[in-house]
A and B are shown apart, each in its own frame.
Chain A
Amino acid sequence: GQNIDQPTEMTATEGAIVQINCTYQTSGFNGLFWYQQHAGEAPTFLSYNVLDGLEEKGRFSSFLSRSKGYSYLLLKELQMKDSASYLCAVRDRGVSSYKLIFGSGTRLLVRP
């Protein structure tokens, strides 16, 4: 089966850096995604890792270690608008097709 774990809530200060961790167990790993979701809205894509290492995209970076089943999302220069839920999702190679399995999400609150 699949299991994806991430912290439920985090709080950080505007302008600071925050790291959101995600650990996963899956039988057919085919990539890891990070999404941002504001309340009542659909998720928006942030980053994608399929190989080990760091992927940087502006203020957001994501890291993957496949041997450890571990990823993190790093947010720099935090802004108030970054207050949202951050979803870690693993693409799993199922029996007949790929599917995206989501973690429970981490609610990030950015304070002034």
Chain B
Amino acid sequence: GAVVSQHPSWVICKSGTSVKIECRSLDFQATTMFWYRQFPKQSLMLMATSNEGSKATYEQGVEKDKFLINHASLTLSTLTVTSAHPEDSSFYICSASKQANTEAFFGQGTRLTVV
């Protein structure tokens, strides 16, 4: 058990458009989901913590109006990159926990390329 599916695995979009990334917990209910961004040869940087039914908590320096997070159900959280620019090109990874203080399971990641 404890499978997290992320979709799409890769996406290429034009500058100025918006892209939605989905993160689903397939066999458990996730009260908490996390969104990370990873640039080449760097570690995972936490962007925001998303709790079902409430607003996401963003890390310092992350623009909440640019990176829209919705956690409408216990099995789905979405990250929308609005008005994407080439500097937003990165590897975006989600993780999900059954409860806030339990192990987090990672999705496969989404490689976003903005051209």
> Which residues in A have some Cβ–Cβ distance to B below 8 Å?
30, 33, 40-45, 48, 87, 91, 93-105, 107
Contacts and interface: CB of A to CB of B under 8 A. Distances in A.
B34 interface: yes
B104 A100 contact: yes
Nearest to A92: B46
B83 interface: no
Contacts of A107: 41
- Most A C-beta atoms less than 10 A away, residue of B43, B57, B106, B111: B43
A3 to B, nearest CB: 13
A41 B42 contact: no
A103 B6 CA distance: 23
A33 B59 CA distance: 20
B108 A42 contact: yes
Given A30-B101, A41-B108, A98-B100, A104 B34 contact: no
B31 to A, nearest CB: 9
Q: Is the interface of A mostly helix, strand, loop or mixed?
A: strand
Interface residues of B, number: 27
Contacts of B107: 42
A101 B76 CA distance: 22
Contacts, number: 58
A99 B34 contact: yes
A97 B109 contact: no
Given A97-B32, A97-B51, A104 B103 contact: no
A101 B44 CA distance: 8
Contact of B44 (A45, A87, A94, A97): A87
Nearest to B105: A45
20 contacts: A41-B109, A42-B107, A45-B105, A87-B43, A93-B101, A94-B49, A94-B57, A95-B57, A96-B57, A97-B32, A97-B57, A98-B32, A98-B101, A99-B46, A100-B46, A100-B95, A102-B43, A102-B46, A105-B43, A107-B41
Contacts of B114: none
Which 9 pairs from chain A and chain B are nearest by CB? Answer: A42-B106, A102-B44, A105-B43, A42-B109, A104-B43, A102-B43, A97-B100, A98-B100, A98-B101
